[in-house]
Amino acid sequence: MSLLNDRQQPARDKRISTTARQALVLTALIWLVTSYGAYAVSELIAGRTGFVRDLPLDLPAVLAVALLAFGLYPVAVAQEARSPVRRWAAMLAAAVAIAFAQSIVNMLENWMLGVIPALEAAHLPLIRQRFGRNFLSHLYMCIATGALFIFLIETRRTELQRLQRLRAERIAADARMAALSLQMNPHFLFNALNSVSSLIILGETAAADAMVGRLADFLRRSLSADPTVPIPLSEEMGAVASYMEIEETRFEERLIFTLDLPDDLAQQEVLPFLLQPLAENAVKYGVARSRRPVEVRVSAHREDGVLILRVEDDAATQESASPGPGIGIAIGNVRERLAVHYGPQASVTAHATESGFVSEIRIPLR
């Protein structure tokens, strides 16, 4: 399960429980006011006050009927993702069943109050008359209660979508700031420009010119990309290649970079800046900490309808086996962006291996 789901699940459960409590309170109030309240007012208008004497029995009966009506709430939740026709069909069926059960409760109350002398065949006409009248009024009330529940659930879903949209915008802004931070990172620029200067001093002007070209290409790609708009995988791989070529010049023979992108996946769209932080981690925590040549391999392949992107290195050092906190931050940012854009179908994992370190992104193919 994605990190976003892990983090949002308690909040989502809290929203559901809050909505359920609201629905329960509203149900009790509606049935107390419209059922018992209307009955009490009508009795007062008619000049009768006997309902006060019956309150100890009427009130529990009304609350029991309201509790039965609350049974419509889980039905509304279960039908949340269904079409309006199927949702209302399920709600009407549940309303009929609940109204029937409520009418039975009222019949028992009538019997206990003596309105119905006895639950016997001799009083069947009276029983049928009062049962039918109670059933019809309860059915109307249940339908209204079900409509209220649907409204509450839709309001909750709209709020959740709004929060997810705001979260996506915030994460996109964070991704943009992270990219700009990387572009303007003084250490990165210093290292790149220092490498250019060294090449010029050594008289390797062609290599220096190529280095400047790679740096310009990397900055151009980073500045022009929108973190929220998917791009072809070939462009994402190209951005990583530009970055890694700059680092190859810096580390010389200590960094060996390979890229594997099958032709049939070149146009598969992915979010930009997914591979960049993983490749940077491989250089920072693998290559920079190793005294021997390290191969960093970025690859893509498909498996059972899933696009798998891997960044792996063979820097089998004590340091790379226990990476610093920067790796966790980078993985967390990538995981959140994946979850917002792709949902729980996408994931990112990272772990040390016997030969080095591997980061893997899994995205559903589209």
The yes-or-no verdict on residue 302 having pLDDT over 80 is yes
Among 107-121, 254-268, 280-294, the minimum mean pLDDT is found in 107-121
- What six digits make up the tokens of 351? 């772990």
End-to-end CA distance of the chain: 20
The residue whose two tokens read 């290649």 is: 241
| More confidently predicted of 227 and 183 | 227
Query: What average pLDDT does range 330-335 have in this prediction?
Result: 81
Do residues 315 and 332 make contact, with C-beta atoms less than 8 angstroms apart? no
Pairing of strands 294-303, 255-260: parallel
In the three-class reduction of DSSP (H, G, I as helix; E, B as strand; rest coil), residue 188 is classed as helix
Q: What is the pLDDT of residue 150?
A: 86
Q: What is the pLDDT of residue 126?
A: 82
| More confidently predicted of 172 and 217 | 217
| Residue 308 CB partners (closer than 8 Å, separation 6+) | 300, 301, 302, 360, 361, 362
Do residues 197 and 209 make contact, with C-beta atoms less than 8 angstroms apart? no
Question: Which domains, from first to last, does the chain contain?
Answer: 3-166 (no CATH), 184-364 (3.30.565.10)
The residue whose two tokens read 């039975």 is: 104
Burial of 30 (0-12, 13-18, 19+ CB in 10 A): middle
Q: What is the pLDDT of residue 144?
A: 87
Q: What is the pLDDT of residue 51?
A: 66
Query: What average pLDDT does range 250-266 have in this prediction?
Result: 91
CB under 8 Å, gap of 24 or more: what pairs does 37-45 form? Answer: none
Residue 358: enclosing H or E segment and its boundaries? strand 357-364
Residue 341: enclosing H or E segment and its boundaries? helix 325-342
- Greatest mean pLDDT among 177-181, 192-196, 249-253, 311-315: 311-315
Query: What average pLDDT does range 167-174 have in this prediction?
Result: 72
Residue 360 has phi, psi (to 5 degrees) of: -135, 130
Cα-atom radius of gyration of the chain, to the nearest Å?
A: 33
Q: What is the pLDDT of residue 8?
A: 43
CA atoms of 175 and 224, how far apart (whole Å): 13
Which residues is 89 bridged to in the sheet?
A: none
Task: Please tell me the total number of residues recorded for the chain in this structure.
Answer: 366
The yes-or-no verdict on residue 273 having pLDDT over 60 is yes
Return the closest-CA partner of residue 174 out of 269, 308, 277, 310.
Answer: 277
Q: What is the pLDDT of residue 125?
A: 83
The yes-or-no verdict on residue 131 having pLDDT over 60 is yes
Residue 100: enclosing H or E segment and its boundaries? helix 84-113
CA atoms of 160 and 149, how far apart (whole Å): 16
Query: What average pLDDT does range 95-103 have in this prediction?
Result: 90
> pLDDT confidence of 217, banded at 50, 70, 90?
confident
| More confidently predicted of 313 and 330 | 313
The yes-or-no verdict on residue 52 having pLDDT over 90 is no
Half-sphere exposure of 140 (CA within 13 A, CB side): 7
> pLDDT confidence of 317, banded at 50, 70, 90?
low
- Percentage of the chain surpassing pLDDT 90? 18
Half-sphere exposure of 85 (CA within 13 A, CB side): 0
Among 172-176, 200-204, 209-213, the minimum mean pLDDT is found in 172-176
The yes-or-no verdict on residue 234 having pLDDT over 90 is yes
Do residues 345 and 13 make contact, with C-beta atoms less than 8 angstroms apart? no
Q: Quick count: other Cβ atoms within 10 Å of Cβ 252?
A: 9
- Percentage of the chain surpassing pLDDT 70? 86
Confidence (pTM): 0.51
> pLDDT confidence of 185, banded at 50, 70, 90?
low
The yes-or-no verdict on residue 2 having pLDDT over 50 is no
DSSP string, 126-183: HHHHHHHHHHHHHHHHHHHHHHHHHHHHHHHHHHHHHHHHHHHHHHHHHHHHHHHHHH
> pLDDT confidence of 257, banded at 50, 70, 90?
very high
The yes-or-no verdict on residue 297 having pLDDT over 60 is yes
CA atoms of 237 and 245, how far apart (whole Å): 12
Do residues 237 and 300 make contact, with C-beta atoms less than 8 angstroms apart? yes
